[in-house]
Structure 1
Amino acid sequence: VCGTGIAPKAKVAGIRLIDGDITDTEEAKALSHALNLVDIYSSSWGPMDDGQTVEGPGKRTLAALQRGVRDGRDGLGAVYLFASGNGQNIDDCNCDGYANSVYTLSIGAVDSNHNQPWYSESCSAMIAVTYSSGEDNEPGISTIDVGGECTDEHSGTSAATPLAAGIISLVLSANPLLTWRDIQHLIVETATKVNEDDLSWSLNGASHLVSHKYGFGLLNAGAMVRAGLLWNSVGSLEVSTVNGGPQMSSIDPQAGRQILEIADSKNAELGLMEYANFARSDESHGECCIDRLSIIENTLDSVACLYAKSLTVLIVTASAPQNTIGVDSIETVAVTLTILHECRGDLEIIIYSPMGSRCVLES
């Protein structure tokens, strides 16, 4: 026996998926496999962590995730976990469309000293961290190795994510009536703040401390179970959408901040909004095309696009988004952007909520 594990009475099944090139259909089948039996899908895989790849679920895989949170666990929703990634110095987990999906939970890592390890990526999409390996002289994670042998060298966010799955399994065993969205809220309310002197921590609009390095903090199994036993369900997901209108503006890099309105919902069907940056000859030029802003829970106030070295374009919604019936508060904002630029590394994308939350979407 290599260890008791976090949830020793949980049943575990493995799906062989990433031993070669895989298709959208194969991913969709894996993420909906035995949906009537599987409560939690733990995925320690995703796009390459090379700082160049921007990929996410295909149409079939996205449909599988949507079906899972709708139909899984007899309508309470399957819980999908994805590792945030191991490309810290060169990558951003917001570029991983599996980790940043509203239907999944992205899990990062801390070492035994509660520091962000050298590999763990940072992003606004990461909800929390769990323990994993650190430097070579620090302990790794004990588990079963290939061939049935034991190892204490399991590492990376690939090791952190199954630990999160075990903790959530404990919570669901204590209260099987929790929904997939209840689990998200429980994490936010109970995660333990670590390395609190780290400058990445900030107070969001809902008065929660949050960090792009640690999410809402370190998963706390005991606190989650205790809170889960007394939890009142947060209810179903409501979605509201804002679409860009057909506006074009030539932007002078020396002009500073410009306020450009998105067309309201009456004109949303008219097409794309494009902002072209025609820079001076000694600067790279680019174009930022925003074709859809998908808002989860209530309204979007503004989104900022930073061009080149100093140009900021502030986009402000002109009216409330469509389909706002039943929406009470902002939980998640999903932004769909199409950006053409000669040097993508020059771009930083930041979104601000009406209550002052600041999320870096790309840096």
Structure 2
Amino acid sequence: MPSRPTRSLLAALCLPLLLASCGGGGGDGSDDGPPSQQAGPDPLLSSQWHLANTGQSGGTPGQDLRAIATWQTTRGEGARVAVIDDAIEIDHEDLAPNVADYFNYRRPGSPPAPETSNDDHGTPVAGIAVARDDNAVGGAGVAPRASLGAYNALATGATADIADALNRDFGTTDVYHNSWGSPDDGTLHAADSSFVAAIQRGIREGRGGRGAIYVFPAGNGGPSDNANFDGYVNKLGIITACAVDHDGKAPNYAEAGANILVCGPSGNGSAAITTTAVGNGYTSSFSGTSASAPMVSGVAALVLAARPELSWRDVRLILARSARQTDPAHPRWVAGTDGRPAHNPSYGFGAVDAEAAVALARTWTSVGGSESLLECS
């Protein structure tokens, strides 16, 4: 079974983590409830420039998600983000309060906890999206009151397990987050048929027919690669997320692609992302599109917390139309027509903007879901 590279750059190294492939399994698990915690400010929040960029990392103030402004009206309550990865430490002090469900494909019935030193990817990804706020520990996620589903389907590498995770609990899961994809080697990689079938089922049947949201990273292959080559992110129903650094510009590992929708903040060199880490700890060196993509998943959760009746197509359009044009001097921006936003293959429609997205969602008229798609003959 081929391994699926995760899309982080740890300690600013341009090296993908290749997950070993082994057997599969099944079984159910659920959390018995979060431990008691005290309320109070999050001590690492001031280091999370992606939430509030004041220039603390040496970047440009204001180049951030603009998520904190949305927390006055929604912090993601009622929305659920499922993280599909190698392992997720669900008893981590900054994740446990939000855990709603889990499934361990390696050891059915057990929490999907890290078992080896290589199982260090899913925990920081989950923290970026939904780490708890105001609990006097760590930092905060983009949607800090959204609930978390934790599925370690990448631990086995089995295509059947990944397909199962992409549809697991899709009656109650709003966003399926995936910080992984094909190898970043500059060649075309097709997705297997079970993946395609799972995505198509999710956008048609997920969320009571409104359609599940699927977010994937664009990849870390740099100028020698192209996000269009990745069969996991060039499909209908996928939100493909690129990265921008603390100055709002594409990092050196960025891939361009016509399939890119929006970008999320991530590191470039020394200014990386502060988030949860295994061992009930924290890291300030998480980076790559593995970090930028859960930013987009968190914003999608905020949008659906504000307007849960919106379809998967609505969410895509809202993210695109509310995105902030970044790096405006970049030569590949193409102006939209008839009020449509500009697009750039290096940035999609721009940097995701939580405040603008939630504001637009509140007045958005739905375009419908999969039932309104036209089929070409």
Fold match (TM-score > 0.5): yes
Partner residue of 1:211 out of 329, 344, 349: 344
Query: Counterpart in 2 of 1:231?
Result: 364
1:50-69 map, 5 Å: 50-52=185-187, 54-69=188-203
- What SS class does the counterpart of residue 216 from structure 2 fall into? strand
* CA distance, structure 1, for counterparts of residue 195 and residue 159 of structure 2: 6
Give how far 1:60 is off: 1.6
Deviation at 1:225, TM superposition (A): 0.5
Partner of 2:317: 185
More strand by share: 1
Of structures 1 and 2, the one with the larger relative CO (CA 8 A, separation 6+) is 2
Alignment of 1:252-267 (within 5 A): none
Which one-letter code corresponds to 2:268 in the other structure?
Answer: G
Residue number among 171, 174, 185 corresponding to 1:36 in the alignment: 171
- Which stretches in structure 2 are left out of the alignment for 5+ residues? 1-136
Would the aligned equivalents of 2:170 and 2:202 in 1 still touch at CA under 8 Å? Answer: yes
2:257 counterpart (94, 112, 123): 123
Which structure would you say has the larger Rg?
1
Map 1:52-91 to 2 at 5 A.
Answer: 52=187, 54-91=188-225
Q: Residue 97 of structure 1: CA displacement?
A: 1.4
1:174 aligns with 2:309: no
Q: Which amino acid aligns with 1:2?
A: G
1:25 matched residue in structure 2: 160
Task: Choose between structure 1 and 2: higher helix proportion.
Answer: 2
Stretch moving more, 42-51 or 206-215:
206-215
1:56 to partner: Cα distance: 3.3
- What is the TM-score of this pair, normalised by structure 2? 0.61
Q: How far apart, in 2, do the equivalents of 1:177 and 1:157 lie? A: 29
Moved beyond 3 Å, runs of 4+: 204-207
RMSD of the TM alignment (CA)?
1.4
1:99 aligned residue: 233
Post-superposition CA distance 1:211-245 (Å, at most 9, x none): 0110000111011101101110012342333xxxx
The alignment status of 1:12 with 2:184, answered yes or no, reads no
- Which stretches in structure 1 are left out of the alignment for 5+ residues? 242-321, 323-363
Cα displacement string for residues 310-361 of structure 1 (whole angstroms, at most 9, x for unaligned residues): xxxxxxxxxxxx2xxxxxxxxxxxxxxxxxxxxxxxxxxxxxxxxxxxxxxx
Distance in 1 between residues matched to 2:261 and 2:248, nearest whole Å: 16
3-state DSSP of counterpart to 1:152: strand
Contact kept in structure 1, 2:244 and 2:263, CA below 8 Å: yes
Per-residue deviation, residues 78-110 of structure 1 (Å, max 9, x unmatched):
100000000013211101111111111000000
**TM-score, with length taken from structure 1:** 0.63
**Structure 2 residue matching 1:42: 3-state secondary structure:** strand
Q: Do the aligned partners of 1:10 and 1:169 also contact (CA within 8 Å) in 2? A: yes
Question: 2:223 & 2:353 partners in 1: Cα distance?
Answer: 27
Structure 2 distance, partners of 1:59, 1:5, is 33
* 2:248 maps to amino acid: H
